[in-house]
Amino acid sequence: MGDLLASFDQEHTWRRYTLLLHGLGWAGYLVVIILLWNLGAVGSQPASLFRFFLTVILILPGLFYVNVLVLIPRFFQKRHLGKWIMSHIGLILAVVGIEVFISTVLASAALADVIGPAFLSGLGWVVTMTSIAFIYRYLVDGIAMPIRMERLQAERDAAELAFLKSQVDPHFLFNTLNNLYSLALDEDAPQTADSIALLGRLMRYSLHDAQAKTITLEKEVQYLETYVALQRLRAMPNASIEFVVEIPEASLHSLKIAPMLLIPFVENAFKYGLHASRQTFVRIHLGITEGNLAMECSNTIAREAKEGEPGKVGYQNVKQRLEHLYPDAHTVYIESENQIYSVNLEVHL
């Protein structure tokens, strides 16, 4: 709780800091406008007044916020310098176009007389506001980055703790043990021993392999195979269960993945996809292309997940883990249509 309160206080401090920077910046901007107005630098002609108000109200703030919110974080900081440069060329041309329109249409000036000054004006405004935007980002990121890194670490710790707590679903174990008990009473057959062996593999993986940061893809797939095999023993005859793996042996041995990253999707498919009295199905397909692991998991919707249920919480946990472990290297698409729930996950390993 103390860490969460500290994180909240830091976030509050950062927000006040950014609001203070905005307040000081706009106060100074207003002072400059008033000084220019009082010094008579604006002019009294309609075209001059229109240009002045359009510039101070729309163009300059627009150039600043486009840089701060879009161009710097999306292009410059991600080293897409070509897109960043082309975007600024577009901004310069846009400002030049506005200047030329005002001068030729509203002030009736000749195009040849205004094109040069308009270009210099547009270039000057774009360079000036881009520079101010960089200064602002530097000041804000200087205090924001440590705070955000601390928040990310706190969220990661919380996600990992929740992940560890939910590694073994007690409801699943309880139901499985009940089934094993029934089998033991009804028959003296190898199926009982096989069931216990499968459960032992799941427990061994959860307690040992899942503690590592990464494991081979082969171990993760074997865990899913064991889980599906155990679920087949519990499923009713009307349930259709498919588990297909199309991954080359070389990739299974060489590629690494965070442990228990895929199981929450599979768990939910069985938990909400099978029904005791009607035809239902669970289909799981694993494949790989150029280092990208793709999992397609679909199931009939036998019942809806309620807010706060372990399955729903587990899904939120795995989303957080994906964001922390594979930022910008994963996609998740979820569809729910015609009583069929589908998850398409792709992770670059």
State the average pLDDT for the chain: 78
Q: Which residue has the higher pLDDT, 187 or 259?
A: 259
- The pLDDT value recorded for residue 60 is 84
Assign residue 121 a region (left: φ > 0; alpha: ψ between -120 and 50; beta: otherwise): alpha
- The pLDDT value recorded for residue 46 is 66
Q: Which residue has the higher pLDDT, 227 or 205?
A: 227
Residue 66 clears pLDDT 60, i.e. is over it: yes
Lowest mean pLDDT among 7-11, 153-157, 159-163, 177-181: 7-11
Report d(CA 237, CA 33) in Å as an integer: 79
Give the mean model confidence (pLDDT) for residues 88-115: 81
Give the mean model confidence (pLDDT) for residues 147-154: 67
What residues pair up with 340 in beta bridges, in sequence order? 300, 337
Give the mean model confidence (pLDDT) for residues 320-349: 88
- The pLDDT value recorded for residue 6 is 45
Let me know if 290 is exposed, middle or buried by CB neighbors in 10 A (0-12, 13-18, 19+).
exposed
Q: Which two tokens mark 200?
A: 């032992």
Q: Which two tokens mark 102?
A: 């005002």
User: How large a percentage of the chain has pLDDT more than 90?
Assistant: 15
What residues pair up with 300 in beta bridges, in sequence order? 340
Report d(CA 223, CA 212) in Å as an integer: 15
Q: Which residue has the higher pLDDT, 110 or 168?
A: 110
- The pLDDT value recorded for residue 313 is 54
Please work out, in degrees rounded to the nearest 5, the angle formed at the alpha carbon of residue 113 by the alpha carbons of 110 and 119. 120
- The pLDDT value recorded for residue 174 is 57
- The pLDDT value recorded for residue 286 is 95
Q: Which residue has the higher pLDDT, 161 or 120?
A: 120
Report d(CA 59, CA 52) in Å as an integer: 10
DSSP letter at 109? Answer: -
Residue 238 clears pLDDT 70, i.e. is over it: yes
- How many Cβ atoms are within 10 Å of 144's Cβ, its own excluded? 17
Give the closest residue to 246 by CA, choosing from 288, 204, 277, 279. 288
241: enclosing H helix or E strand? strand 239-246
Amino acid at 137: R
Q: Which residue has the higher pLDDT, 104 or 132?
A: 132
- The pLDDT value recorded for residue 344 is 92
> Binning pLDDT at 50, 70 and 90, where does residue 5 land?
very low
Give the mean model confidence (pLDDT) for residues 79-91: 87
User: How large a percentage of the chain has pLDDT more than 70?
Assistant: 72
**pTM listed for this prediction:** 0.50
Residue 56 clears pLDDT 90, i.e. is over it: no
Residue 148 clears pLDDT 80, i.e. is over it: no
pLDDT tens for each residue of 270-326 = 888 888 788 889 999 999 988 889 999 999 988 766 655 545 556 777 888 888 888
- How many Cβ atoms are within 10 Å of 242's Cβ, its own excluded? 11
Q: Which residue has the higher pLDDT, 41 or 242?
A: 242
Residue 250 clears pLDDT 80, i.e. is over it: yes
Q: Which residue has the higher pLDDT, 225 or 59?
A: 225
Residue 224 clears pLDDT 90, i.e. is over it: yes
- The pLDDT value recorded for residue 160 is 63
> 113-122, 142-151, 173-182: which has the highest mean pLDDT?
113-122
Give the mean model confidence (pLDDT) for residues 12-40: 73
Residue 82 clears pLDDT 80, i.e. is over it: yes
- The pLDDT value recorded for residue 10 is 54
Residue 41 clears pLDDT 90, i.e. is over it: no
> Binning pLDDT at 50, 70 and 90, where does residue 29 land?
confident
Domains of the chain: 2-163 (no CATH), 168-348 (3.30.565.10)
